[in-house]
Structure 1
Amino acid sequence: MKRRTFVQRIGSILAVLGITEAEWLAMGNSYYQALAQPTPRKLALLIGINQYRKSSSLSGCLTDVELQKELLIHRFGFQGSDILTLTEEQASREFIEAAIVDHLVKQAKPGDVVVFHFSGYGTQLPGELETLQNALVTTNENQEPPDSQIANYLLEDTLLVLLRSLSTNHVTAVLDTSYSLPSTTQPSGLRLRTRQESATTQLAAAELDFLKQIKTQPELNPVVVLSATSEPQQAAKEVLMSGFSAGLFTYALTQQLWESTPATAIQVSLSHVANSIQQLGSKQQPKLLSKKKNQPGVVTVDNLLPDSRSGAEGAILAIEEDGKTAQVWLGGIPTQVLEYYSANSRFSLATGGQLVVRSRTGLTAKALVSKVADTTPLQVGQLIQETVRVLPRNINLILALDNKLERIERVDATSAFAGVGHISTVVATEQPADYLFGKLPQTPSRYGLFTLGGELIPNTDGGVGEAVKVAAQRLSAKLATLLAAKLWRLTQNQGSSRLPIKVTLEIVSNISPRVVMQQQTIRTLDTETAAKKSLNNPIIPIGSKIQYRVQNLSDRPIYFMLLGLKNHRSAIAFYPWQTPQEPNPDTQPQLQQVIIAPNETVTLPQTTPASGWVVSDAASTWEHQLIFSTAPFNSTLDTLEKAKYSAGDQQPIATLINPLEVGQALLQDLHNSSAIKAEMNPTATDSYTLDVSNWASFNFSFQVA
């Protein structure tokens, strides 16, 4: 399309939006070229705003745009020229609406795929009949003068009307924002993507007029909307990682979709996304707000993902030093693992090539090309799959000190926690952290331990007037438990494991077991069956008996271990007690390895036909990490046996007395099972080397109510 034709076509839109042709063309020739492409294709409009004229800055919205762009190009086959990004000062209401109309509405044809993404502030404004309207806060928030109460925002209704007017029925909108602040103010180590408007704020007349005009157009198709939150009072949050910030929802969603295969349902992805968000310290629950026609309950991403594409942990972004090194994108590494992903980790290519990580900065890494297929040269865009994960042995639990603490309190806390082993302290929202130390909002003279999202961890609040140093000593055992959980979460590799295993969580009943959740190693199995049986944020009734059904679909025997947390409070473990055949008061039960033979299915526990683990403690969150290995867990069982248990504690699943030592032993066992460690660096003693061919690890989280 000629430039003159393009400008003429968009002129009427600009007139409605109240901007000039010169302002539009000032956005640059590359922006024009992206809009002017005429051929049917996969189209995307990605919007991210960190810097606002009046609001405090956000940190992760531009990263969100980058996360989505790399995902769409390398996993979903989008052309870079068909992805339009509007960031910072480009993302005004007028430019966003013009871009939707011309880049999406006017170009999308039946069968095309369209993705819209927004990361930034959301808010609510008064509407008709005392209702509230959801709005996306654009970069030019308020019209002049600076103190004007006229809000130049993009209404969510306007966005949805525009997207529903597209000629294609393959439209997805991802909204990493929220509209109302939580009713209570809790300590937080995460930045919120929502803001409160004053009672006198009014929406710009131009936006209301534009909505009135487009409402006369026919709505051709429904839109799939993926929202960062599921409840009005939930807030979308950002997480600070090493070297970057990102929206919790976008980060977890894109990571999950890197691993997805064409048969994976969106609901399953959102279930895993919610789990990842929870592990990063927030109860924020994403939601599928609308479904396509004729697809009740299941919305797939198969229209986006080519059937020939398998899961991946990233892709090659650039080839350097005459093909000796490559810059790689690591968007598919599990969110809780990336922070500790270390040098000498390895990836494979479909062509047979191998890459070895030399350094990492944020989401990108520099890798040495250690092996290249003879006939296929290295290429930008090639997908990479994890083969070896290297983790440091020296891992601390990082505590953020709440900004509401007085200076002397922060000094005392830094000194006190320095005396607790494996604990580091940072200032909240300035550096990555695992948990937050602060005051109880209701009783400022009491200290407690919080998730980054502001949830008080049960039984961590102290008495009135407690000294900071006393609080640090009181929390030392709890911190060791949380560090242990951090260690075993680092083993999670459902996407990259080469062990074919399927695990189902069931509620035991007198009739037949009821499936609650099901997970399997994506790289080795068809995921269609699991997609139909997984639930988002599952709730198990208090008093239920649960069991795990494990299918070993490999040709090797595998060993099993279960560790976990109950309500962030106490560590638990599965204890495989071996009871003597002939009872003897002098003979104590011994722990034994749980071995699952090739092609065998077992249920755990295995005591009686109607047995199971009874889940108690209503309004609690349970988290189980199920780890499988081709080698026995010798160090882990030895560490378990060192703890002293009374006869009454010899239950299949019970409290873990020495969780940190067990977590370290678990990583050592997985390290010992990796034969490749000797080949890589036989003298290295400061890291764990884990081979994805030899272990699989799943995280099951559920609510008890």
Structure 2
Amino acid sequence: MADMKLNRRTLLQQAGLALLSLGIGETRIGLKVPQIKAYGQALAQTTNRKLALLVGVNDYSQHQLDGCVTDVELQQELLINRFGFNAKDIVTLTNQQATRENIETAFVEHLREQAQPEDVVVFHFSGYGSQVKIPSSDIATSEEAVINYQLVNSLLPIDGILATKGTPVGNDLLEETLIWLARSLLTEKVTMVLDTSFINSKQSMKGNLRVRSFLEVAERASPEEIAFREQLQIKLASLKGKSVHPGIVLAAASQDQIAVEKRWNNFSAGLFTYALTQYLWEVTAPNRVQVTLERVTETVKNVMGNQQQPTIIGDSQPLFTYYLMPTSLIGAEGIIKNIGDNDSVSLKLTGLPAKIIDYYGVSSCLLVVNPDNSTSSEELTLVQIRSRDGLMAKAQILHQKDVVNPIKVGQLVQEYIRVIPRNVGLIVGLDRNLERIERVDATSAFANIGVVDGAISVGEPNVDCLFGKIERTVSKAVATQSDSNVGESGTSTTTSFGYGLSSVSGITIPHTVGVANEAVKSAITRLTPQFKNLLAVKWLELTFNQTSSRLPVGIFLESIDKNNSSLILQRSTRAAKLLNQLASQDLSLTQTDFPTINSGSSLRLQLNNYTDRTLYGIVLGIDADRNLFVLYPPQYNSKEEQFKLQDIAIAPGQKLNLPETQDAWQWKIAGSSGMISLYGIFSTLPFKQTLAAISAPPNLKFESEAILNLANSLEVAKALMQDLHLASQVGTEIIGFANDVYALDVNVWATLKMSWELVNN
């Protein structure tokens, strides 16, 4: 492998990173530049202590979980390497260590007895949530006297269920106890992260995801827990006026919803914790905690729909998540964990987006960030992945032996070249409700579907969708007859089961459920177009590099009403020169909930190019029915007297609106209710093959309309990958002569994504 030496000036010109260290957050923040500097200076001078207690339980005696210990590791890595926590100030309790008594003792001894005013405290729990029956009246002391009770939320420690001869007793940590413990702290800067759920879902799995709600409700709490809570209440009775919810609680789901964990190749994690920590690895600026939650919610809702809605509880509204800014204002995709012999290193890739990590290929390269986050060295170094196991990767240092700054453990790494195999296919999970003969027939049929890599049992990692029997209800108008009114009209409802597809979270994919008594093989043949659409979506997700792209670009989504416009969403790359370009914009936080847009609203998209060169853009979307569309206004070719697709070119330092003017055409959002995702893709070269693929279907008519549903979505997605591969021009010194991979350079492309919920009133 040839040595890799990068000149600092060349890199900065390519990346547009001149103002990266003082970037502005990505959504609706009401901060001016002087305020940002003031906050940064104040936080840089703080000497207050940072304390954390992290709890994760997988090894329950009943209904084990898989990802809770990983959650603890993710939080620990984040707090130490991004928020400056001292490792000695973090206590972790996992599996057998995480008894109720140990958790409460650690909270008292590590947090309450040490935390001083203005110190920062983080408590994290990943495990089962549950509920416990508590008598409504304090008079009811005997078991016979307990007639009325209330259900209270609780966290299930490793010893949460006590073995008794009679009615099972819950040894849970009551949520109320946790709140009283938090109130006992001298500091108000408390963040409690609860990646669990309390609703009794009656299901251990939701689609291909494991639910973190315990299946049983404890008939009564343990006397020890009740006594401990009462002691806290007595000791803290004098705390008049103190907030009921000190600090804030970041909860994975609302009270009546489930929280889930997801499996990837060789590791599992809470969907909420992974989304939270991954986003905080990329943060490069002061963001309100509500903005963090909005971005995390976007990731969660793209998987769970409305089944899991992360929430924030608390009276205070701190500017920063964990009441802190990252110690480094340069985001990262990972960290160097170990340095071996012969220029080998071990990496932990905790900052890569969830849908990319499983396909992050060998030969991918990451840029090593200097220990002080400066760019004073004239040489910057790459490391190249040689093998990967889940989040851990072994890599080789690419540099000359006389490099000025040797690599050290703890340095951050940023994505530089992404290598993706070309043979990525769709993985279909076979639902548990299929009989054995149905599973055999399905496996045989899927072997003949070229876009499907395999059909595996539900519960395995990497599943993209589920195939199974889905209930469908059909209502018909019928004529009824009564004594008073002959021929009265009514409705008749029939229920049947048909083969169809659902998402990994068990949500039925629209228009995929067939009729009753359909043969398995016929159903799979019928669903082939949907498989192609789903694979196209998967390819589109694999281009997402909003955090790592070194092209300073951004997209704005606006609602337009007559001559007025209002900002709905904005996204930008980490490299965007936001300090100069957006400081004058009104980015006040107008909402904290996930954005919704009413059907029929008029929208406008703005593509922003902050570079000193012409860039080319394309906008692809996924509607609520999981179909791909392109937002691409055709232009009239006078020579050929017809409309044709032409390159969307954005001049240096300029913006381009779609539609350009209200008189040109209108983008009125419509379609089925549900999640909509929009991808703004930029490249340094035109999308030649992508446009050819979009134009390929016969009988395609280009009129004045600018939204085109893609009948050949998979061909378009693969053409997009090829265009980005050709624009990157990654040399043989990186990928050799391999022709079975796409190699994408973050200096030449950017894919940004925004999502919202379409509502039909």
Output the TM-score relative to the length of structure 1.
0.89
SS at match of 2:199: coil
The one-letter code matched in structure 2 to 1:663 is: A
Q: Give the aligned residue type for 1:421.
A: G
Partner of 2:691: 637
Pairwise CA distance, 1:513 = 1.0
State the Cα deviation string for residues 653-680 of structure 1 (Å, max 9, x = none). 1211110000000011111111333442
1:42 equivalent in structure 2: 50
Residue in structure 2 matched with residue 30 of structure 1 by the alignment: none
- Conserved in 1, the CA contact under 8 Å of 2:643 and 2:703? no
Please name the residue that 1:277 is paired with. 300
Residues 254, 591 of structure 1: alpha-carbon distance in 2 compared, 3 angstrom cutoff: same
| CA distance in 1: counterparts of 2:527 and 2:575, whole angstroms | 40
Deviates more, 1:81-90 or 1:523-532: 523-532
C-alpha contact (below 8 Å) 1:343/1:359 kept by paired residues: yes
Partner of 1:15: none
Residues 520, 460 of structure 1: CA spacing in aligned structure 2 closer, same or farther, 3 A cutoff? same
Q: Look up the SS of the partner of 2:355 in the other structure.
A: helix
Match of 2:373 in 1: none
1:116–1:286 Cα change, 3 Å? farther
**Secondary structure of the residue that 1:215 maps to in structure 2?**
helix
Query: Which residue among 387, 411, 419 is the counterpart of 2:440?
Result: 411
Matched, 1:353 2:403: no
The answer on whether the counterparts of 2:430 and 2:458 sit within 8 Å (CA) in structure 1 is yes
Pairing partner for 2:103 from 96, 99, 104: 96
C-alpha deviations, 1:90-145, integer Å up to 9, x for none? 11111111111111111111222111111111112234544321111111122233
State the shift of 1:649 in Å: 6.5
Equivalent residue number for residue 470 of structure 2: 440
Q: Is the 8 A contact 1:240 1:246 kept in 2?
A: yes
Does residue 426 (structure 1) correspond to residue 446 (structure 2)? The answer is: no
Tell me if structure 2 keeps the 8 A contact 1:549–1:604.
yes
Offset at 1:682? 4.9
Per-residue deviation, residues 462-510 of structure 1 (Å, max 9, x unmatched): 1011111111011100110111011011111111111111211111111
Give 2:6's aligned residue. Answer: none
Q: Please give the alpha-carbon distance, in whole angstroms, between the structure 2 residues aligned to 1:535 and 1:560.
A: 30
Which residue of structure 1 aligns with residue 181 of structure 2? 162
Task: Determine the structure 2 residue equivalent to 1:260.
Answer: 283
Q: Which moved more, 1:480-489 or 1:680-689?
A: 680-689
> Could you tell me which residue of structure 2 aligns to residue 667 of structure 1?
721
- Residues 397 and 422 in structure 1, CA contact (< 8 A), matched pair in contact too: yes
Verify: 1:138 aligned to 2:157, yes or no. Answer: yes
The answer to whether the Cα contact below 8 Å between 1:547 and 1:603 also exists between their aligned partners in 2 is: yes
1:652 matched to 2:670? no
* Map of 1:4 onto structure 2: none
Q: What's 2:21 paired with? A: none
1:368 paired residue among 389, 396, 401: 396
Asked whether the 8 Å contact 2:599–2:670 carries over to 1, the reply is yes
Measure the CA separation in 1 of the matches of 2:530 and 2:704: 23
Task: Please say which of residues 371-380 and 238-247 is displaced more in the overlay.
Answer: 371-380
Question: Does 2:522 correspond to 1:478?
Answer: no
Aligned position for 1:290: 313
Q: Alignment partner for residue 541 of structure 1, among 598, 616, 619?
A: 598
Q: Give the whole-Å Cα distance in 2 for the aligned partners of 1:697 and 1:589.
A: 27
Unpaired segments ≥5 residues, structure 2: 1-46, 137-148, 371-379, 473-494
Alpha-carbon separation, structure 1, partners of 2:431 and 2:660? 46
Cα contact 2:195–2:252 (8 A) shared by 1: yes
Greater CA deviation, 217-226 or 337-346? 217-226
1:64 is displaced (CA, Å) by 0.8
How many residue pairs get aligned? The number is: 657
Residue 336 of structure 1 aligns to a residue in which SS? coil
Q: 1:409 to 1:305 in 2, by over 3 A?
A: same
477, 497, 517: which one aligns with 2:569: 517
**Separation in structure 1 between the aligned mates of residue 340 and residue 591 of structure 2, nearest angstrom:** 43
Q: Residue 592 of structure 1 corresponds to which residue in structure 2?
A: 646
Alpha carbons of 1:302 and 1:548: their partners in 2 closer, same or farther (altered >3 Å)? farther
* Deviation of 1:307 (Å): 5.2
Counterpart among 317, 329, 332 of residue 309 in structure 1: 329
Q: Which residue of 2 aligns with 1:505?
A: 557
Deviation at 1:641, TM superposition (A): 1.4
Greater shift after overlay, 241-250 or 511-520?
511-520
Q: Distance in 1 between matches of 2:726 and 2:654?
A: 25
1:52 Cα offset (Å): 1.1
Could you say what secondary structure the match of 1:234 adopts? coil
Find the partner of 1:384 among 401, 409, 413.
413
2:267 pairs with 241, 244, 261, which one? 244
Could you tell me how far 1:581 is from its partner in structure 2? 5.1
Cα deviation, 1:572-616, whole Å, max 9, x if unaligned, reads 11233112459xxx7321110000001112211225348431111
Partner secondary structure for residue 673 of structure 1 = helix
Which residue does 1:601 correspond to in 2?
655
Work out whether residues 315 and 328 of structure 1, in 8 Å CA contact, stay in contact via their aligned partners in 2: yes
In structure 2, do the counterparts of structure 1 residues 131 and 514 end up closer, same or farther at CA, with 3 Å as the change threshold? farther
* 2:111 maps to amino acid: L
Separation in 2, partners of 1:327, 1:579? 54
Please give the per-residue CA displacement for 1:401-440, whole angstroms capped at 9, x wherever unaligned: 1122111111111111111112121110123211111112
1:274–1:537 CA contact under 8 A, matched in 2: yes
> Which one-letter code corresponds to 1:568 in the other structure?
D
Task: Indicate the SS of the match to 1:52.
Answer: coil
Q: Which amino acid aligns with 1:368?
A: Q
Secondary structure of the residue aligned to 1:430 is: coil
2:258 is aligned, of 227, 235, 239, to 235
In structure 2, the partner of 1:105 is 112
Greater relative CO, 1 or 2 (CA 8 Å, sep 6+): 2
> Is this contact kept in 1: 2:532–2:713, CA < 8 A?
yes
Q: Does 1:691 align with 2:745?
A: yes
Distance 1:377 1:185 in 2: 49
Query: Is the Cα–Cα contact under 8 Å of residues 502 and 521 in structure 1 kept in the other structure?
Result: yes
- Partner amino acid, structure 2, of 1:500: P
Q: Secondary structure at the match of 2:564?
A: coil
Counterpart residue identity of residue 327, structure 1: S
Instruction: Give the distance between the partners of 1:682 and 1:513, measured in 2 at CA.
Output: 50
The one of 219, 223, 229 equivalent to 1:211 is 229
What is the TM-score with the length of structure 2 in the denominator? 0.82
Q: Is the 8 A contact 2:170 2:222 kept in 1?
A: yes
Does the CA-based 8 Å contact 1:396-1:422 persist in structure 2?
yes
Cα distance, 1:396 vs. partner?
A: 0.7
Bigger drift between 520-529 and 680-689 goes to: 520-529
Cα root mean square deviation, aligned: 2.4
Residues 128 and 559 of structure 1, relative CA distance in 2, 3 Å threshold: farther
- SS of the equivalent of 2:527 reads helix
**Aligned CA distance change for structure 1 residues 575 and 85 (closer, same or farther; 3 Å):** same
Alignment of structure 1 residues 565-584 onto 2, 5 Å: 565-580=622-637
- State the one-letter code of the partner of 1:240: R
Residue deviations 1:230-261 (CA, integer Å, cap 9, x gap): 3x332111111011111111111111110012
The answer to whether the 8 A contact 2:287-2:319 is kept is no
Distance across 2 between alignment mates of 1:467 and 1:341: 37
Residues 549, 573 of structure 2: 8 Å contact kept: yes
Alpha carbons 2:297, 2:310 under 8 Å: kept: no
State the identity %.
Answer: 40
Q: Name the CA distance, whole Å, in 2 between partners of 1:69 and 1:686.
A: 37
Query: In 1, Cα distance between the equivalents of 2:442 and 2:348?
Result: 37
Residue 289 of structure 1 aligns to a residue in which SS?
strand
> Given that residues 99 and 158 in structure 2 are in contact (C-alpha distance below 8 angstroms), is that contact kept between their aligned partners in structure 1?
yes
Contact 1:545 1:615 in 2 (8 A): yes
The C-alpha deviation readout for 1:45-92, integer Å capped at 9, x for no partner, is 111111112x21111111111111111111111122211111111111
